[in-house]
Amino acid sequence: MSDKLIKIATFNTDLNSLLGTDFQPFTIYRSKGLLTHLINRKHFTAAKYIDYLPEIIDSPDYAGYYDGKIELVKIYKDNIFISIKVDDKNHQYYVATVFDVKMGKIESYVKSGRLKKVNRTSK
């Protein structure tokens, strides 16, 4: 499986306090076929941001830990949502989902507690 993966980032442990986790730094991968997958699923907006994944992971505007997945959102011209999941069999973290999301959905996730605003001044 690792020959189908591209290393894109290391988990930003500064997010642990916000997420309520105690993760040690770990490598995050994306599949080589992610861009093709996004295009096939007509996620054209998200596909434009595939090269931004390292920045989104390192410096998100919103973050959450939901249903065993790390969820991150970065606000650009579009709002890009990614979900990071663990492959239990291979013990590797990978980007499972990338899509654009409306601000109303982000606000709904913040209100429900699923996402929290990342405070940059604490860094």
Q: In what order do the strands lie in the sheet with 116-117?
A: 5-10, 27-31, 92-100, 79-87, 69-75, 62-66, 116-117
Q: 16 is written with which tokens?
A: 């642990």
**Residue 88, pLDDT above cutoff 90:** no
Where does the pLDDT of residue 121 fall: very low under 50, low under 70, confident under 90, or very high at 90 and above? Answer: low
pLDDT at 1: 45
**pLDDT tens digits along 96-120:** 999 999 999 999 999 999 999 998 7
69-75/79-87 β-pairing = antiparallel
Is the predicted pLDDT of residue 62 greater than 70, yes or no? yes
How high is the pLDDT of residue 123?
41
Averaged pLDDT, 14-21: 95
pTM for this predicted structure: 0.92
Task: Report whether 83 contacts 65 (CB < 8 A).
Answer: no
> For residue 2, what pLDDT band results from cuts at 50, 70 and 90?
low
What's the mean pLDDT when you consider all of the chain? 93
At 87 the pLDDT is 87
